[in-house]
Amino acid sequence: MLDVNSFDESKIDWKPLPGPDGEPADHISLSILNVDDKAKIVDVLFKFSANEKILMHRHTSNYSTFTVKGELKTYLPNGELKDVRPAGVFKAGEPGEAHTEGGGDEDVVVYFSLRPYSATDPIYEILDENLEVLQAMNFEDLKGLNEEYSS
């Protein structure tokens, strides 16, 4: 049985995720676990701060998530709470609506398997307050970020 209370996030090599302006994005850290160059899949742990929301975005490729620690809260563009996924919950997702997300009363750690199956098709798009695209992130971008953090 999974003991979701025993996950020790201090053993993870957390890195900042650059935002659209090149500066670290607020309330988010990541650890890239694997980059599968053949299948074009990236496996990442994300940590979102407690009671905060990350930037508005839209997934533009298939993905799956598993909440490792805490609870993942997803919000609609109007700020309405859409979904709460506590530790131990898996979800497979497809490209969809704009949203933001963050931690509940504690930081949340979520495993994402990002599956664009292409080097250049976007994985997700960062959006502004009018839901216009500020930045798109694709497989090559994450692969480059992984190489930068690994050097």
pLDDT in tens, 105-129: 999 999 999 999 999 999 999 999 9
Query: Is pTM, for the whole model, over 0.85?
Result: yes
Q: How far apart are CA 71 and CA 89, in angstroms?
A: 9
Q: How confident is the model at residue 3 (pLDDT cuts 50, 70, 90)?
A: low
Which architecture does CATH list for 23-150?
Sandwich (2.60)
Residue among 61, 28, 60, 62 nearest 46 (CA): 28
What does the domain layout of the chain look like in residue ranges? Answer: 23-150
Neighbours of 26 (CB within 10 A): 12
